[in-house]
Amino acid sequence: MTGESRPLRVLVVDDEPDIEALIRQRFRRRNGGFEFAFARNGKEALELLSADPALEVVVTDINMPVMDGLELLGRLDSLGGRMVKAVILSAYGDLRNIRAAMNEGAFDFLMKPIDFQDFETTLLRTGEALEAARRGVEARDQLAALEQELEIAARIQVSMLPREFLPGWADFGIYGEMTPARQVGGDFFDFFMIGEDRLGFLIGDVSGKGVPAALFMAVSRTLLRATALQGVDPGECLRYANQTLRGQDNEGVFVTVFYGILDVRNGQLEYAIGGHNPPYLVSPRGPLKIIDEPGGVVIGLLPEGHYETGRLQMAAGDCIFLFTDGVTEAMDPEERFFGERRLKQALAANVGAAPRRMVQAMLAAVTEFTADAPQSDDITTLAVQWTPR
């Protein structure tokens, strides 16, 4: 209640001189919760309201000289968006004017002669409504500030993801996209050259959504990239990342990762899996092949994680397609999942396609399936193709 912190400032507008005397007498010993000011008509009331920004409740009669209560209500907007609530005083049975006042925005009404118990209760209720409205405005302003911060965070996050896809290299092609479910998300992908002949690439999915996931995403990506660039094998890279992230206060947040190193000279792929969705090998010479062994646990959750380095020989034109569970768990309006079956159908329809075409075809298939359903998770895809000269 407003009176708990400071008195509620009330302006009483009535041309009957006895009203002021009665109110002052009634609240003479009990005015700790209220402070009153008085005006004889709407014109005086507007002058007082303009001069005293602390006045926040107007209790006004309807029938007054110079400016009546209905005109006063219509002019409260001229106070420049200031939060003022009005209570109407009216003779018993004057329902037409009461209805007109409520249509003009009056919060409540009181009947004459004034029942002071009802008068006090109405003022208390009006003060509580003002306080609730103030909290709503504060929450709205805080939300607007947060949304602005999220927009900035989203721009920063997007700027961290690769935008140039190494077009000058003839021995491989690579392309990826990430679409967050919210303004910022927890998915990421990255790639980089390790020396002159090895392409490092990874995809990750942080548990959770929003700002906490985005912060953990930034830390995970930076740590994995820095470790990978030292040239360690994929299993050792994930082991070190798990050991380091597990030592932080992450409150149960973890990240799933697939990290691979492609030797662009001979097509030898080394990789490690940290609890992530296994990618697919898409080859013009055979059926789709899932790359799920050797497996490993998620990164940053358990104190000891064992990560082996797997090896795979790619042939010319083979493509590794990586994705996060936002693809397979994308839902249509009837809450059905896109699923692995549709993912494999989309891949099979694009065998031999360049990475950009494969990624965009998959995203188009997901978009067509989900229709107008809201996106429930970050969606990230990455394709890497070996194209020896």
Closest by CA position to 279, among listed 318, 335, 306, 239: 318
- Kindly list the distances between the CA atom of residue 287 and the CA atoms of 23, 347, 351, in Å, as whole numbers in the listed order: 89, 10, 10
Q: What is the DSSP letter of 301?
A: S
With tokens 């721009």, the residue in question is 155
> 6 burial class (0-12, 13-18, 19+ CB within 10 angstroms)?
exposed
Per-residue confidence (pLDDT) for residue 277, from 0 to 100: 96
CA end-to-end span of the chain: 77
Burial per residue of 40-75, b for 16 or more beta-carbon CB atoms within 10 angstroms, e otherwise: bbbbbbbebbeeeeebbbbbbbbebeebbbbbbbeb
Per-residue confidence (pLDDT) for residue 368, from 0 to 100: 96
**Torsion over CA: 161, 153, 218, 324 (sign):** negative
Tokens matching residue 67: 């400016």
pLDDT band at 247 (very low <50, low <70, confident <90, very high): low
> 388 burial class (0-12, 13-18, 19+ CB within 10 angstroms)?
middle
pLDDT band at 182 (very low <50, low <70, confident <90, very high): low
Asked whether residue 41 carries a pLDDT value surpassing 60, the answer given is yes
Per-residue confidence (pLDDT) for residue 62, from 0 to 100: 81
Distance CA 151, CA 318 (A): 38
With tokens 């920004």, the residue in question is 53
Identify the H or E element spanning 347. helix 339-348
**Torsion over CA: 39, 40, 42, 43 (sign):** negative
355-370 vs 339-348: helix axis angle to the nearest 10?
140
> 170 burial class (0-12, 13-18, 19+ CB within 10 angstroms)?
exposed
With tokens 């997007």, the residue in question is 158
Per-residue confidence (pLDDT) for residue 379, from 0 to 100: 92
Tokens matching residue 169: 């290299």
pLDDT band at 250 (very low <50, low <70, confident <90, very high): low
Q: Tens of pLDDT along 267-286?
A: 999 999 999 999 999 999 99
Per-residue confidence (pLDDT) for residue 185, from 0 to 100: 66
Q: Tens of pLDDT along 355-380?
A: 999 999 999 999 999 998 988 888 99
Per-residue confidence (pLDDT) for residue 135, from 0 to 100: 84
Distance, C-alpha 169 to centroid of its chain: 38
Region 46-69: mean pLDDT is 85
Q: Tens of pLDDT along 7-23?
A: 888 999 888 888 888 88
pLDDT band at 199 (very low <50, low <70, confident <90, very high): very high
Q: Tens of pLDDT along 146-155?
A: 677 666 666 6
Per-residue confidence (pLDDT) for residue 29, from 0 to 100: 64
Asked whether residue 70 carries a pLDDT value surpassing 80, the answer given is yes
Residues 6+ apart with CB under 8 A from 128: 1, 2
Contact at 8 Å (CB) between 383 and 279? no
| CA geometry: angle 197, 198, 199, nearest 5 deg | 125
The most confident of the ranges 243-247, 268-272, 305-309 is 268-272
With tokens 């094998």, the residue in question is 233
3-state secondary structure of 187: strand
Region 300-316: mean pLDDT is 92
Per-residue confidence (pLDDT) for residue 3, from 0 to 100: 40
Q: Tens of pLDDT along 82-99?
A: 788 888 887 766 777 777
Strands 379-386, 319-323: pairing kind: antiparallel
Asked whether residue 109 carries a pLDDT value surpassing 90, the answer given is no
Per-residue confidence (pLDDT) for residue 126, from 0 to 100: 86
Per-residue confidence (pLDDT) for residue 184, from 0 to 100: 64
Contact at 8 Å (CB) between 210 and 154? no
Strands 379-386, 172-179: pairing kind: antiparallel
* Mean pLDDT over the full length of the chain: 86
Percent of the chain past pLDDT 70, that is, above it, reads 91
Distance CA 50, CA 37 (A): 13
Per-residue confidence (pLDDT) for residue 2, from 0 to 100: 44
Per-residue confidence (pLDDT) for residue 274, from 0 to 100: 96
Lowest mean pLDDT, pick from 46-55, 101-110, 183-192, 339-348: 101-110
Per-residue confidence (pLDDT) for residue 32, from 0 to 100: 58
Asked whether residue 1 carries a pLDDT value surpassing 70, the answer given is no
Region 174-183: mean pLDDT is 84
Region 95-108: mean pLDDT is 77
Percent of the chain past pLDDT 90, that is, above it, reads 43
Q: Domains (ranges, CATH) in the chain?
A: 2-138 (3.40.50.2300), 161-386 (3.60.40.10)
Distance CA 366, CA 378 (A): 12
